[in-house]
């Protein structure tokens, strides 16, 4: 028997049937994300702080990389001055000496003179990643063995630092907060609802389930780690060649046998500016980072999308079981929506600050636009982050692009 004798019996029908089995298995598998995330979220999030605390708690150096001022910066930073934790220092890193963020920090330092806080200005150019360059001056003078990277738009509850330290068991190297958003008092409109629905549904589902499986998907907007372990990996500067330093730092801990875990409380993002296009651009930027460092995600992510997966599931169910694809698709959509809503309730852990109708609209908008965001991330490797443009290389390494028209040809 030669090759053709094996291939000849494979008819178009067999291929179609095989594809249908594949898509139906994929469709079934993707429900495990919902179920896994629901169980893990319920088990992991919003745990009570133990009544009895250890006799001594380690000091923590908190690095706050700042760039510019927005309407919430003062309120966000103030939450770090009133943490319920005995020993910590605040290191505000500001790259540009004319940055108005300095004034905001100065007024807080004056208001809370007893808090160990200072400004480190100028950063240090150790690589491409501007956040790392900015933080270097703070990183080098950290007093404590534990340090935390905390982005400028994060608001902290008084007990969160304590909770994070308590999660740092002997075998844990890094603790990070799952990204979410705070309940805004000054409603920013649809974009803030969209952001909350995104971080409370699809993002939470992936983040929780992958963490439950031990898959690295660390977003570094609020993470605490052991400095000595990071030093073994070359220190913070070793990650300045990547834009997704958060992912690679966590990987360095995992590679050395340390655990990387999420804490009980989600990170409360509270940016003072917001627009639908700004939110979408951020997701496109993150998508480009993921696709550059984990190329398999280029295929996996679109296929795991609610609508794409629903269409694949409906088609395969129609082929395999001779049932109505349309009916299957709508049942899929409704069930997916309800499970997303349950995950949202777990993330929110309290009353919603907008109506159920607004939730439905934001959820539908997010799902319909999701595939376009992924496709936009697929087609270009150029990333705009704040004022700078970068080009991503295979594996996640990045190079800065000088301004000039020729550089932007894709």
Ligand X SMILES: CCCCCCCC/C=C\CCCCCCCC(=O)N[C@@H](CO)[C@H](O)/C=C/CCCCCCCCCCCCC
Write out the catalytic residue numbers: 246
Is 89 in contact with 61 (CB distance < 8 Å)? yes
Number of residues that bind ligand X (CB under 6 A): 22
Q: Which is nearer to ligand UDX, 157 or 282 (CB)?
A: 282
Which is closer to ligand X, CB of 10 or CB of 299?
299
Q: Which of 76, 134, 270, 370 binds ligand UDX (CB under 6 A)?
A: 134
Indicate which single residue of 61, 76, 119, 151 sits in contact with ligand UDX (rule: CB under 6 A): 151
Q: Is 174 an interacting residue with respect to ligand UDX (CB under 6 A)? A: no
Site membership for ligand UDX, residue 236 (CB under 6 A): no
Nearer to ligand X, 162 or 204 (CB): 204
Q: Which is nearer to ligand X, 121 or 216 (CB)?
A: 216
Q: Is 218 in the site for ligand UDX (CB under 6 A)?
A: no
> According to CB under 6 A, which one of 246, 268, 274, 310 is a site residue for ligand X?
246
Smaller CB distance to ligand UDX: residue 221 or 306? 221
In 123-212, DSSP assigns E strands to 146-150, 154-155, 172-176, 179-181
Whole-angstrom distance, CA of residue 278 vs CA of residue 298 = 22
Q: Which of 126, 166, 137 is nearest to 64 (CA)?
A: 137
Strand segments, DSSP code E, in 300-358 are none
Interface pick for ligand UDX out of 386, 403, 405, 406 (rule CB under 6 A): 386
Cβ count within 10 A of residue 370: 20
What is the chain's Cα-based Rg? 23
Two structure tokens written together for 169: 């068991």
CA pair distance 205, 340, nearest whole angstrom: 8
301: contact with ligand X by CB under 6 A: yes
The answer to whether the beta carbons of residues 69 and 100 sit under 8 Å apart is yes
Pick from 236, 228, 190, 232: nearest CA to 354? 190
Q: Which is nearer to ligand X, 10 or 215 (CB)?
A: 215
Residue 121 phi/psi, 5° resolution? -115, 140
DSSP state of 265: S
Query: Which partner in ligand UDX, ligand X, none is near 131 (CB below 5 to 8 A by kind)?
Result: ligand UDX
Stretch that binds ligand X, among 96-104, 191-199, 239-247, 314-322 (CB under 6 A): 239-247
- 303 near ligand X, judged by CB under 6 A: yes
For the sheet containing 154-155, what is the strand order? 154-155, 267-269, 179-181
Contact residue for ligand X among 31, 85, 286, 337 (CB under 6 A):
286
Residue pair 228/142 in contact (Cβ under 8 Å)? The answer is no
Using CB under 6 A, list all residues that contact ligand X: 26, 203, 206-207, 210, 215, 217-220, 244, 246-247, 286, 289-290, 294, 297, 300-301, 303-304
Using CB under 6 A, list all residues that contact ligand UDX: 65-67, 130-131, 134, 151-153, 219-221, 243-246, 282, 385-386
């Amino acid at each position: 028997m030669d090759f053709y004798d094996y291939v000849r019996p494979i008819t178009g029908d067999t291929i179609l049937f095989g594809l249908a089995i594949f898509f139906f298995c994929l469709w079934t598998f993707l429900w495990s994300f919902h179920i896994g995330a629901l169980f893990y979220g319920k088990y992991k999030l919003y745990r009570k702080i133990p009544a009895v605390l250890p006799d001594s708690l380690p000091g923590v150096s908190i690095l706050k990389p700042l760039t510019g001022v927005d309407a919430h910066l003062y309120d966000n930073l103030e939450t770090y001055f009133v943490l319920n934790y005995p020993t910590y220092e605040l290191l505000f890193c500001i790259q540009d000496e004319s940055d108005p963020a300095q004034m905001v920090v100065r007024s807080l330092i004056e208001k809370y003179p007893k808090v160990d806080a200072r400004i480190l200005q100028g950063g240090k150019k150790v690589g491409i990643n501007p956040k790392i360059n900015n933080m270097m001056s703070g990183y080098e003078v950290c007093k404590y063995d534990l340090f935390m990277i905390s982005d400028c738009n994060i608001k902290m509850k008084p007990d969160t630092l304590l909770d994070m330290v308590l999660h740092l068991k002997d075998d844990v190297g890094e603790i990070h907060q799952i990204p979410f958003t705070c309940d805004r008092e000054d409603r920013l409109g649809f974009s803030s609802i969209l952001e909350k629905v995104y971080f409370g549904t699809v993002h939470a589902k992936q983040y929780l389930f992958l963490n439950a499986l031990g898959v690295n998907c660390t977003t570094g907007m609020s993470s605490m780690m052991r400095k000595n372990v990071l030093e073994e990996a070359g220190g913070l500067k070793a990650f300045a060649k990547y834009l997704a330093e958060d992912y690679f730092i966590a990987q360095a801990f995992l590679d050395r046998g340390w655990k990387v875990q999420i804490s009980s409380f989600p990170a409360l993002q509270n940016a003072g500016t917001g627009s639908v296009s700004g939110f979408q651009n951020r997701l496109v930027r993150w998508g480009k980072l993921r696709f550059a460092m984990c190329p398999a995600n280029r295929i996996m992510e679109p296929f795991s999308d609610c609508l794409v997966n629903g269409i694949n599931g409906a088609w395969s169910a129609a082929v395999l079981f001779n049932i109505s694809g349309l009916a299957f698709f709508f049942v899929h959509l409704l069930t997916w929506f309800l499970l997303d809503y349950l995950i949202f309730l777990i993330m929110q852990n309290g009353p919603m600050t907008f109506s159920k109708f607004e939730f439905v609209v934001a959820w539908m908008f997010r799902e319909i636009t999701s595939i376009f965001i992924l496709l936009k991330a697929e087609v270009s490797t150029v990333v705009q982050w704040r004022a700078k443009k970068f080009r991503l290389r295979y594996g996640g390494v990045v190079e800065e692009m000088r301004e000039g028209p020729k550089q932007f040809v894709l």
